[in-house]
Amino acid sequence: MAIVKMKHLQLIAMVEERENLLRTLQRLGCVEIDEASVELKGDSGTAQEQEGLLRQLEQQLSRPDAKALSQAREEQSQAERALTVLKRSAPAKGSFLSPKPTLREEELFDSTLACQAKAGAQEVNGTDQRVHAIEGEQSKLAAQRTALLPWASLDLPLETTSTDQVTIQFGTLPAALPFPQAEEAVSQAGELAQLTLASTDRDNHYCLLVCHASQAEEVLQTLKELGWSRANLRECTGTAAENISRLEQENQTLEQEKIQLKERLSKLGDLRPTLQKLADRAQAEAKREECRGRTLDTNLTFYLEGWVPGQRWEELKKELSQYPCAYEVKDPTPEEYPQVPVQLKNNWLTRPLNMVTEMYSLPAYGSLDPNPLMAPFFILFYGIMMADMGYGLLMMLASVVVLTKKKPKGGMAHFFGLLGLCGVSTFIMGAVTGGFFGDFLTQLTTLINPDNPITLPALFTPLNDTMMILVGAMCLGFVQILTGMAISFYKKLRDGQVMDAIWEEVTWWVVFAGLALAILGTTNLVLIVGGVMVVAGPILTQKGFGKITGIFGSLYNHVTGYFGDILSYSRLMALMLAGSVIAQVFNTLGAIPGNIVIFILISLVGNTLNFALNLLGCYVHDLRLQCLEYFNKFYQDGGKPFRPLDLNTKYYEIVK
């Protein structure tokens, strides 16, 4: 239950062995490969000479090309795109609780299967691309048909153009203008002109103008004043009706082809496992190529840097002995701590708390693992806020079913593990407060037998003992704050900051003890000693006028800080009370009609909403108490997660 000690690995090996060596590291999954760099150490002459040597050395080194990385990413993209198409066109029946199927490493990297999978991905993606192309062509045909529909009543070919004697134009006029008025205006502008109405819609009149060339200028000027807009139909040949018929035939042909292609896609569902293997293979190769790109090359060798957990070093050393390589491992210096990746080592109880820690921030390397220090408080506080046996049973059941059936890993495993632990705490606190979906059993048995309802025993209840619960919640908060101070005290002693520990934690412990003794009426001496220490701390550690401001600053910051922190724990009572009241309200509403079926339905809906609300709300408030009130006493964040080169795939569980 601590932060895993890391070792810095530096390795030089032959270039021709790099692929096999990286595969070995990926199979082991215990080395995070960093960006390799070179530096001169020791006495290498003047700064100018060192710079020249370093520049000369860098010129002899090079980075591997990224061609293979691009290819692997493209293969993964193609496989994922094909799987998305199959998910839409040939959906497969699956279960949330189904675990990932297993796959041997040799089968994952089988080149023959990979070639078949690539061909399958090309077939699926090519077919889907043709479907989209057809849909694009159909959209274009539909737009053309829509443009031609207003002219369908005209028998005149659309390619008809003006001659030296006759001017012919297709155009539109605003629909707000009565067509007879436009027709009359054209007649007055030219006796040898005719305006024919083809159709009308909400916005326009679609018209054909035919007039003698000698009167065209005057007629067109009149029409422009009325809002005439010339239509561009020169690309079409034949009448509008003929073109519409042609477009409909083309669309029908495309529709038939699209149906055939979709049927073809619906029958390609058998390619799904093959494509999933290709996606996992490409993902693994992309990870390996990314790490390959972080190495440095010479003509014959390559240089690799990385981090390996100290507990895995002997295992890695045994594997490296199979290769002609030179390596060195060393413990990181305190100056290197910010660059060291962090891996937490926890047991079954504290491991699920990784979800909380990673959501906040990993601890800095060389500091303390917060999970075992936080687990008892987080789990207990969650149970206090939820406090219902029924909700606790649901949480435990969901956790056990998912963890045993699906067997998840990573964040999902942490989530359901934490859900189960908090479910146990919720059930216990529900038993203490007598809550089972609120007062569900009491209301139900009252409907069945009003003379002998069942009431669950309880040590205290949120409605009747609110003040006691509030005081107890703040006392628990005070215990957690004291725990945080004790951890901070230990850290300061470990780091040699003895005086800081005395004037900070010890001083306020004396103050707290003095307040307790004074309230009990035992003695005021301890409180006086604490007050003296509060004043003495700034006087001994500050200079000049800072001694005075330090005293008032220390008093104000600590008094308001501790009071505010302790008061924050009243949310334990508030959420317990809110959850209990909401459940009882829905149960009471369901019992009003006096019908058992109606009661169960209303109670089920209400408790479902209450459960969902509290499931998230209790987590958020519990997280706030840990991160703001507890962690600020001792937690040093800023760690970066340990991300080794491994075979952590998406669709299959790789058997190594």
DSSP string, 98-150: PPPPEEEHHHHT-HHHHHHHHHHHHHHHHHHHHHHHHHHHHHHHHHHHHHHGG
Matching residue, tokens 């025993």: 457
Q: How many other CB atoms are found less than 10 A from the CB of residue 648? A: 17
Q: Parallel, antiparallel, or unpaired for β 6-14 and 301-309?
A: antiparallel
Angle CA(330)–CA(332)–CA(338) in degrees, nearest 5?
A: 155
In angstroms, what is the C-alpha Rg of the chain?
39
Interstrand relation of 653-655 and 2-3 (parallel, antiparallel or unpaired):
unpaired
Angle at 584 between CA 578 and CA 587, to 5 degrees: 145
Long-range residue pairs from 130-135, CB within 8 A, at least 24 positions apart, any chain? 130/261, 131/258, 131/261, 131/262, 131/265, 134/254, 134/257, 134/258, 134/261, 135/258
Q: What confidence score (pLDDT) does residue 506 get? A: 86
**Weakly modelled stretches of the chain, pLDDT under 70:** 1, 39-59, 538-557
Q: Return the pLDDT at 536.
A: 74
Evaluate the CA torsion angle 616, 621, 625, 628 in order and state its sign.
positive
Report CA 178 to chain centroid distance, whole Å: 60
**CATH 3.30.70.100 fits domain 160-232:** yes
Predicted TM-score (pTM) of the model is: 0.83
pLDDT of residue 545: 52
Give CA–CA dist 580/463, Å, rounded: 8
CATH topology assigned to domain 2-64+293-341: Alpha-Beta Plaits (3.30.70)
CA distance 553 to 539: 12
Cα 474 from Cα 381, distance rounded (Å): 11
4: DSSP letter: P
Amino acid at 163: T
What pLDDT was estimated at residue 354?
Answer: 92
The CATH 3.30.70.100 domain(s) of the chain lie at: 160-232
Task: Kindly give, in sequence order, each residue whose CB lies less than 8 Å from that of residue 555, ignoring residues fewer than 6 positions away.
Answer: 534
Alpha helices in 2-110 (DSSP H): 18-28, 47-59, 67-89, 105-108
What count of other Cβ atoms lies within 10 Å of the Cβ of residue 1? 14
